[in-house]
Amino acid sequence: MQLTVTDRASQWFQEEMGLNKGMGVRFFGKVYGKTPVHDGFSLGMARDDHPLSPIVDTVKDGVSYFVDGQDEWFFKGFDFGVDYDEKTDGPVYQYTQNGEL
């Protein structure tokens, strides 16, 4: 699994969540909702500066963006991309199949 975060998305997270170097954002699956790859589950994110057992960790502008092992089920088989959408002034997420099932 790969996790990519664009420069503009990282800037948005820093501004909206008050992030500084050494801080982190955890992405996870949660009950209810829908994504392009899951019915009944949606994507969650939370400020988390202390990953327990990350399966992927990308550092951008000194901020760690990661997925912990307990959430591997949600991302399994996909690379995960985080970008910024000017129209909605917020992040957008891409799931790309990577062949890891």
The model's pLDDT over 10-55, given as tens digits with 9 standing for 90+, comes to 999 999 999 999 999 999 988 666 666 766 668 999 999 998 899 9
CB neighbourhood size of 37 (10 A): 15
The two most distant CA atoms of the chain are separated, in Å, by: 36
Domains of the chain: 3-97 (2.60.300.12)
Report the first-to-last Cα separation within the chain, whole angstroms: 10
Stretch 46-72: mean pLDDT, rounded?
94
Q: Residue 25: which of 56, 63, 60 has the closest Cα? A: 63
Q: Which residues pair with 43 in a beta bridge?
A: 29
The predicted pLDDT at position 32 comes to: 64
Q: What is the pLDDT of residue 87?
A: 95
Element (H, E) at 13: helix 7-17
Higher per-residue confidence, 73 vs 13: 13
pTM value is 0.89
